[in-house]
Amino acid sequence: MYQPANAIRLHVSLAEIDPPIWRRLVVPSDWTLDRLHLVLQAAFSWTDSHLHEF
């Protein structure tokens, strides 16, 4: 998988789910958590309708 030099590859998995649900994301290394939040919402087809915590 191609990864630009200024990027981070993340493996995001949901806890306590069987079968496992996960996504592999490549994001710029300078992104803040609020931008990452938007990417996570899109990656899992979520609608930002539940409480969450980083």
In a domain, 1, yes or no: no
- pLDDT value at position 5? 79
Rg of the chain over Cα atoms, rounded to whole angstroms, equals 12
Give me the average pLDDT of each 10-residue run along the chain (54 residues).
81 94 95 92 90 69
- Residue 54 included in any domain: no
Residue 49 lies in a domain: no
Domain housing 34: 7-43
The verdict on residue 50 lying in a domain is no
pLDDT attached to residue 48: 85
The rounded distance, in Å, linking the Cα atoms of 23 and 28 is: 16
At 3 the pLDDT is 67
* Domain presence at residue 53: no
Q: What is the pTM of this model?
A: 0.75
* pLDDT value of position 2: 64
Number of domains in the chain: 1
Per the domain annotation, does 18 fall within a domain? yes
Examine residue 22 and state whether it is found in any structural domain, yes or no.
Answer: yes
Question: Does a structural domain hold residue 24?
Answer: yes
